[in-house]
Structure 1
């Protein structure tokens, strides 16, 4: 719809369409996309850990590429938002980027328990996150 010379985009309609769009591709094509992601993420100094998880790892159809990242630096939220746009444009697919810096323990355990590591610049970061998540869940369960 054109209003006052400006194009008004129905972002909710775009999100709904994107949400219900499923993709299928060969294992070779998926490997190519993972390599593209890896190269893009390795060049980002503030990205210390990046892992792929979710339905993209299965043999079946997927809706998006789920990426979890640990971001260092002074403005991790800005980095996160830029990554979402840059990576989605690079792959011409929706890349759902989630920051795991302060994510809930259940999410960290779920993601790191079944993932492909693309970037791991900080030794023992992944292990430390998983250990902290498991300890928090154990303390929570045993304190009740």
Structure 2
């Protein structure tokens, strides 16, 4: 009898936890802050980011990409960094720490991604952004050449898959 009560309590606690988790994960409940920045504000942020990256010796090069580079409202600042000597299993925690530091300083949500292990299509998108820091030009040029070549190799497959997906 006592064991059945114990299992019932555990079941109820797990059910309540999962129910609360499902509610908090509901996309309708997520409100993203929208920022409308002037050109001057964006230039100040770019200068800060460039200075910040230059002082991080492990950052070989960095790009700002996404909506920050356009004259539209934005939800965050997207930054791609190439980091020397980083292991794949360290990349996520490094990016989260970097995002947290920059976000707290700038008071704008900042999404940092380590490009060393990024998918080709994502890295191609990033290098079309604005270069904000470069410690090693040769390393950056090699990375960009490699990404562009690999992207152009898979681009026909991407387009074919998109056509097939939307033809059905």
CA offsets 1:73-108 (integer angstroms, 9 cap, x no match): 355524322211110011000001011102111112
Structure having the larger proportion of residues in strand = 1
Runs of 5+ in structure 2 lacking a partner?
1-22, 158-168
Structure 2 residue aligned with 1:129: 143
- What is the aligned length? 131
Distance 1:59 1:45, change over 3 A: same
Structure whose alpha-carbon radius of gyration is higher: 2
Following superposition, the deviation at residue 139 of structure 1 comes to 3.8
Structure 1 residue aligned with 2:163: none
Structure 1 residue aligned with 2:98: 83
Contact 2:61 2:134 in 1 (8 A): yes
Contact 1:108 1:129 in 2 (8 A): no
TM-score, normalised to structure 1, is 0.78
Following superposition, the deviation at residue 52 of structure 1 comes to 0.4
Distance 1:25 1:142, change over 3 A: closer
Runs of 5+ in structure 1 lacking a partner?
1-9
Structure having the larger proportion of residues in helix = 2
Contact 1:112 1:126 in 2 (8 A): no
TM-score, normalised to structure 2, is 0.68
Q: Which deviates more, 32-41 or 91-100?
A: 32-41
Structure 2 residue aligned with 1:50: 62
Structure 1 residue aligned with 2:34: 22
Structure 1 residue aligned with 2:166: none
The alignment's C-alpha RMSD in Å is 2.6
Structure 2 residue aligned with 1:3: none
| 2:123 maps to 1:108 | yes
CA–CA separation in structure 2 for the residues paired with 1:110 and 1:142: 16
